[in-house]
Structure 1
């Protein structure tokens, strides 16, 4: 569901209470919300340029043969997750601590959550098929818990180009797939691939610079990119539970971050050099 942000909210970088509550309720009921086109165009251009350079470097070093031979990444889906270096412009405050996103996440996750993924998701041209339908996380307690658990992890996406049917939009199954009992997300639960064709889904279209927040449990998949340019998303996960600490942050970078950003990345590898773009 799309939430329109007013010009006043954009100018002040502060969401009205009504906007926050609407976004929170949409995530809780439907599993996701989109704040449409909230990043400044100049910032989107800066991020897109840097991301294209990072992707070009990665393919040249790690995947040129696969890509040029048209066999495709990830079993022909040509969807590729790349861990990004924790450096400008990817660690811009409008990415890692956007006031709109944090205002919404504060209501859902409390205020002691942290970033557990600093990455990206790109649909490259030439994909031959969609990804399998899946949630991002499995069952928290295996087969032991047959009740629904609270939302503990939210994915934060920023598309760096306009997303439409032609360039590999994410397809989602909203309105319930994030509300299943915990054990349903394990290997003995319902098979999303079998159920999804009988259920309602939508393809997520949004302009560059939008913010997409979604429950990690909502079923989704990447679809083929039929265009001739990459469809990149920045992708972070904010978690009320400590799940991962693979983000490497140079100490001089960490010391220049805001107190809130330091708190968000407190469990990560502080004092390590920023990584090169790396495949997930």
Structure 2
């Protein structure tokens, strides 16, 4: 299947959808041929993570957050520098955005519903008001996401409300949690303040969902970062170097894997 082509008007509408609903779905954006190597390379990473940190249940039973190494096949500029994707991101968080996260969320058989949450607190909670977007999660799955294998459920429009008000509307039935079904190659751009939760994977196959985090230039969250190998720097585009500029530069990714530090995720 050929990739969908998006015009500037399409991109404008996608950005407006995120501003209105808190998320948008970009269909058929990533060639499946780019994602098949991710599937193969991710399986041993997940197995190793469970062997090392399987007792960490901070995201719920049988649900694992795994950071991806910034190396082939995951350091793929045809994905993180995709022109359509970055055009949407730029309209939401500015042209001088930073790329701050490359990781996965994977529920397995035995996972459960998460508590409804946001991924970040408001910038200025004392005002009781929300701001334009300042942090985005760009999500794409490594398998088709079906009703059975644990789709994320999002309450549309709650990114511009306080958490308390969003929960009140959910309880009153004025908004609802909507499962987001995706095919391999689809991409979701999501304001991380929107109320959402993970749902159970009732199949025997893992459901990996990649997250690439893009933020406004001044936002720093120390619990997330991308370790960039020094040897890769000459091969990065100028735009990639600019987006990755606040991440740590390491001599090698072969050093012992550190425990995941992004533990407090729900706000």
Are 2:229 and 1:253 equivalent residues in the alignment?
Answer: no
With over 3 angstroms needed to count, the CA separation of the structure-2 counterparts of 1:191 and 1:103, relative to structure 1, is: closer
Structure 1 residue runs of 4+, over 3 Å off?
A: 5-8, 72-77, 189-192, 275-280
Aligned pair partner of 1:73 in 32, 57, 66: 57
Pairs within 5 Å for 1:1-280: 7=3, 9=5, 15-63=6-54, 66=55, 73-74=57-58, 76-127=60-111, 129-142=112-125, 144-174=126-156, 176-180=157-161, 184-185=162-163, 189-190=164-165, 192=167, 195-197=169-171, 198=173, 199-240=175-216, 241-244=218-221, 246-274=225-253, 276=257, 278-279=259-260, 280=262
- TM normalised by structure 2 equals 0.87
With over 3 angstroms needed to count, the CA separation of the structure-2 counterparts of 1:43 and 1:135, relative to structure 1, is: same
Q: Verify the 8 A CA contact 2:153 2:178 in the aligned structure 1.
A: yes
Which whole-Å CA distance do the structure 2 matches of 1:161 and 1:277 have between them? 27
Q: Which ranges in structure 2 are unaligned for 5 or more consecutive residues?
A: 263-267
Which whole-Å CA distance do the structure 1 matches of 2:44 and 2:170 have between them? 36
Farther-moved stretch of structure 1 (52-61 vs 216-225): 52-61
Which whole-Å CA distance do the structure 1 matches of 2:259 and 2:209 have between them? 15
Which whole-Å CA distance do the structure 1 matches of 2:190 and 2:59 have between them? 25
Question: CA offset at residue 6 of structure 1?
Answer: 8.0
Classify the secondary structure of the residue corresponding to 1:231.
coil
Q: Which ranges in structure 1 are unaligned for 5 or more consecutive residues?
A: 10-14, 67-71
Q: Verify the 8 A CA contact 1:248 1:273 in the aligned structure 2.
A: no
Q: Verify the 8 A CA contact 1:78 1:224 in the aligned structure 2.
A: no
Question: CA offset at residue 167 of structure 1?
Answer: 0.3
With over 3 angstroms needed to count, the CA separation of the structure-2 counterparts of 1:7 and 1:226, relative to structure 1, is: closer
Classify the secondary structure of the residue corresponding to 1:119.
strand
How many pairs are equivalent? 254
Q: Verify the 8 A CA contact 1:117 1:244 in the aligned structure 2.
A: no
Question: CA offset at residue 147 of structure 1?
Answer: 2.5
Which whole-Å CA distance do the structure 1 matches of 2:238 and 2:158 have between them? 35
Q: Verify the 8 A CA contact 1:79 1:222 in the aligned structure 2.
A: no
With over 3 angstroms needed to count, the CA separation of the structure-2 counterparts of 1:8 and 1:135, relative to structure 1, is: closer
Which whole-Å CA distance do the structure 2 matches of 1:200 and 1:114 have between them? 32
- TM normalised by structure 1 equals 0.83
CA deviations over 1:92-115 (Å, ceiling 9, x no partner): 113322222101111111111101
CA deviations over 1:33-58 (Å, ceiling 9, x no partner): 11122222221111111111211121
